[in-house]
Structure formats: structure tokens, C-alpha cells
Structure 1
């Protein structure tokens, strides 16, 4: 297909592949056995952004990231591929499926480390949503992936509604961590807003600090979901990232994270929510083997309500049973969630 942007005819591609080396600077802390989850989320956002902009011919913003299982670590020094492709388009939205694979450069046998769905929205010069070219699946595989993306629509709405019902006050006793800092010019993208991937890296860092402080162990993200973007973050904004643990299972720790941002002259009490997410972590030993979690016992009514919230989110994912977006490549060892 062809379309016209700024008077020039172009033939947009529905897919993009980024390839690069995982660097030592992609590892969050000394002794970690792989790239941290936040950096992987940043890579996914960049690949999906390139795909969205290439398809729409417009500036695009991240609206939603969901259902990411981190099945294995990506070692520093591996060749990484981020494969992003259009699955479905709405009026101004693009549902983009992404998979992250890596390989030892001496062998170049790529295996999947995680996959997810990202939704981008195209914007015009006035920062209003603008129509995008329609994507028409042509092959059986493209039709299958489109159906898988659509099977997640109701689940996404149900998760968002459940997350918006919750409130977080000082009466909660769950372990928490708050990071505060200013958004810098180096954090922003080509449209002048903070990269969605950078914001996701921030939430992973706060949640990692929270779970490490509670467990006394190195922790890694094994799941991220319900990542909803509500407003952009700008240069000079005061950013507050609050992570709170709400439930522990045998090995896993469920964490909710809220990123708030706004004018620092207005103080920290009224910063609007820019992003929220639910994430799951496990503690690991020096060899990367999962450890049992230190139990968190709910004390207050708020603690018990938020613990049930974590259970409800898990039940919603089981109830809706979204179709898999990717066919298995090979069996890979996975971090246990329970």
C-alpha cells in the first residue's frame, strides 16, 4: 500500500526489527546475571515506536503496554533483536506485537526472552489523535495475530477498571519505596515528552528497590502488566515513582507502581498520575535460581483489600484467557511466579 505524507508518496511497512548488543550498562546492579526488566521494557517501547511512526507517518505516543512475561535473563554481550509489527489498527491507534530475542554472537541462535502487546496512538501537530492507515491482514498468520490482539481488548479494560478502583493511603503497611527526581532533557523523545520506555524503566527501578529492601535479596521482574499511560511527562517535571508490595506467594512478590509528575512549584501533594502498572518479582541467588519470598502478612483493612486486588488481577487474566500472540519457538526455562 502507499499513502501521502507532506505531499510525498510512501509505502509504509507494518514491521520493524531492531538489532544491537546488550551492553554492561544495561545491567542494573553489580552481580546481576542479566539485563534488568526496565531496560527490556525501554527496548520494546523503542521498537514499537519505530513501527508505529513508520506505519502512521506521524508522531506517536505510548498508550498501553500489557501482559509481559520475562521468561529468562538476557546476558550482557548477547545480540538482541526486538521485532515489532502491526497486528491491528483502529482509527488512530495501532496495536503492535513485540518479541525480544537474544543470542550468543558466536552462535546466533535466537531464543525468545519475552513478548507483549503495545498500543500507540498517532498525534497531529496540535497533539490531537489523528487517523492512521488501515492495516489489512493478508495471511493466515497475520489474521491469527490480529485475533489474538483483539482478544485482549476486554481484558485490558477490565484490568484498568480494577486498578482505578484502588486507593493507596498511609493506613497501608505494605513495604513501599518512593523515588523522586526531575525529568531531564536526556529523558525526552523527538516530540518533547519523556520516552514511554524511560518511564517504564523508572517504575522497574522503584519496584526492584522495594522488593530488594523487603526480601534482602537480588530480585528480578518476571511479569509486568496493566501499564497505562494517562498523561505525558515533560522536561523539568517533578517525577515521583511509588512502588508498594501488596501480596507475596511462595516465591513471588506482587507490586503496584504509580508514576506521578507535574510542576515542582505545586509541591508533591497534588502531582497527577501519569502512569500506573502492576508487576511481579522473584528473589534470585547468585546463580539466578529463584528463592522463596519473605512473606508479607496484611495487617490493616487496606492491606487486605489490596491483597485481594492482586488476586483479582490474576483471576481476570485467567477468566479472559487471551489468545497467544506468538507460536512457541522452543521450550525455555521460566522463572516460577508462585
Structure 2
């Protein structure tokens, strides 16, 4: 039997059809944000694991603008490529395109960076082969990715400074369930993409409950992964509305997980995320947001926190990861 050594490739592209089961609710205009995040994580993982030749874990996903819905039945392309490597980290740029198969013209739906960490047999970070950009475009995208590092640090520090107690009148919803065997990857932990779906579902729930309308995610400011989630863990996803503006609703989500056999006052934090949603009518047209008025000191502080995160994005203005072509990309195969 012949064998062939496959040289690590810095990019992976997945192509598939968006299915009816990818839509969260009947009558929705397109695939929900959590499913798109799952697709991104899946392709980025394939890219990271292929480069590192070992198991990898998601460390961070962020700065995602969902610019348009992806309808069920569209051909979807998720393109992931490594743009920068640290000692054990891989910074991967991901682009999601879709096309009506009757037309075959792909347009961008969203793009974002994902950071993976390569893990050794001892379950500790292990070094990866350095990625060396060669072309002018590879060097441009590397600098674009590096321009986001300081923003990411500032956002994470700002998020960690906040406290969340019961001293609140803000709308919030908590989902509780057990992590199933079908939720995990071959490393024995829950897929990062699956966890991001859980987060989006809870945040969608609280925004729909508050607004009385269909809601869609339009921006993800940062998803920070702190620890793995295992089969059988009790998972608790809490989504709290912290601020409303003219149309937008800012939501903070905490995903906690732990062994249900071990009594504990609070489950360990696994993921912390910041999302922005808007309400839409049946035709997908944005609606003015129902206004939430902060009452308690904590609610007022968290409202300012959401505004601070927005100002940080305006302050750093990271370079674009993707240069949009003047002409849409035509399907060729």
C-alpha cells in the first residue's frame, strides 16, 4: 500500500448547500448567526489542525459583521487561511460567501478572525510551524490581523472588569442542559462552533422576548474561550440585554459548564461573548428597538460598558481583512 505525506496547507475551503435545518425559525430570512459561526469554526479548525498536525482548540473569535442573510438553498463557501502564527497560536482569517445556484455569483456575507491553539499529547500548548507570508496580499492580511491584537486585548480587559450579579432588572434568559456525545469533537470536547450556536440561541431568545419581534445578530464583538466543555457537563448559558440604542440591542452572554455531580454555587466560566442584535419585520427590514431603561447601578454600569466597547472599536479601527472585489465572484465549478 502506497503512502503519501501531505504538505501542510495554509488554507482550506468548504463548499456546501445551506439547508432548511440551518434556519432557526419558520419564516426567517436566512441562516441564523450561530450556524454561520459553527461553519466558520469548522473550516478554521480544519485549517488549523492541518497546519499544526495536532488537535487544536478555539481561543478567540471576534469582530464579525453579518452584512446580509444567507438564504436556505444557497451554495455556501467558507474560506479559511492562516495569516499569522505565534509559538503555538494560529491566526486564521475566515470569509463566508454564498450564491444562488441558479446564478452562481458569490458575494461576501461576513468575515472574521479566529485564533486557535495547537495542543500536544499532554494537553498543553505545543509549537507550530511558523507561517511566512510571501505575496503582497499575504503580507497585507498579516498586518490587518496584527492590527486587531491590541483591540482584542482592550476588549477582553474591559469585559473582565465587569461584574454580573442579581442586582439587575435587565431582561435575561438562562438555558440549561447537558452536553451530549453528539456535541463533541474527536478531542473529546464540545465543538467551539456548537458552543457558539448555543450562545446565539440564548441571545436571540432574550432579544425576541424583549422586543416582541424576530431578531438577528448583526455584530459579534468578541467570543473568548476560557476552558473546554466535556460530554455530560451541565451547561448554563445566560444572556442579558444590557443596552438599547435607536435600533440595536447589546447582549452579554456567559456560558458556564461543569460536572453536575459536584455541587457548586456557580459553574466555572467557559465562554464570555458580546453580541449586537436588531429586530426585523417579516421582510427583513430593520425596526426601531424597544427601549430598555437601566435602573440599578449595575445595569447603568453595563450599559456604559457596551458603549465603551463600541468606542474601542472606533478608536482602533482595525484594517480590513478582506478586500472586496469590484465584481462578484462567478461560480466556475
* 1:286 and 2:282 matched: yes
2:6, 2:155 → 1: CA distance?
38
Distance 1:66 1:262 in 2: 25
How far has the Cα of 1:9 moved from its partner? 4.6
Deviations 1:43-86 (A, max 9, x none): 00001000001111111000000100000000000000000000
How many residue pairs align between the two structures? Answer: 326
Cα distance between partner residues in 2 of 1:271 and 1:57: 33
Asked if residue 232 in structure 1 is aligned to residue 228 in structure 2, the reply is yes
Q: Could you say what the CA RMSD is over the residues aligned between the two structures, in angstroms?
A: 1.4
SS at match of 2:261: helix
**Aligned position for 1:83:** 79
Distance 1:237 1:129 in 2: 23
1:167 alignment partner, SS class: coil
* Structure 2 partner of 1:171: 167
Shift of 1:243: 0.3
Q: Give the conservation status (yes or no) of the 8 Å contact 1:112–1:329.
A: no
Give the distance between the partners of 1:260 and 1:319, measured in 2 at CA: 31
Q: Give the structure 2 partner of residue 277 of structure 1.
A: 273
Q: Equivalences for 1:125-144 in 2 at 5 Å?
A: 125-144=121-140
CA contact (8 A) 1:111 1:329 kept: no
What residue in structure 1 maps to residue 150 of structure 2?
154
**Structure 1 Cα separation of the partners of residues 23 and 326 of structure 2:** 26
- Aligned counterparts of 1:16 and 1:232: Cα–Cα separation in 2: 24
| Residue of 10, 15, 40 corresponding to 2:11 | 15
* Structure 2: unaligned runs, 5 residues or longer: 329-333
Q: Does residue 119 of structure 2 align to residue 101 of structure 1?
A: no
Provide the rounded CA distance (Å) in 1 between the counterparts of 2:229 and 2:274.
Answer: 20
Distance in 2 separating the partners of 1:310 and 1:119: 23
Look up the match of 1:314.
310
Render the CA deviation track for 1:154-176: whole Å, top value 9, x for unaligned. 11011000000011111111110
1-side partners of 2:35 and 2:276: how far apart? 16
Match of 1:182 in 2: 178
Gaps of 5+ in 1: 1-6, 333-338
Is structure 2 residue 68 aligned with structure 1 residue 58? Answer: no
Instruction: Verify: 1:32 aligned to 2:57, yes or no.
Output: no
Whether 1:253 and 2:249 are equivalent positions in the alignment is yes
The Cα shift of 1:10 comes to 3.7
Contact kept? 1:48, 1:96, Cα under 8 Å: yes
- Structure-2 change in CA distance of 1:28 and 1:267 (3 Å): farther
Alpha-carbon distance in 2 for matches of 1:180, 1:326 = 37
Quick one: distance in 2 between partners of 1:268 and 1:240? Answer: 13
1: CA distance between counterparts of 2:69 and 2:257?
31
Aligned match for 1:195, one of 191, 195, 206: 191
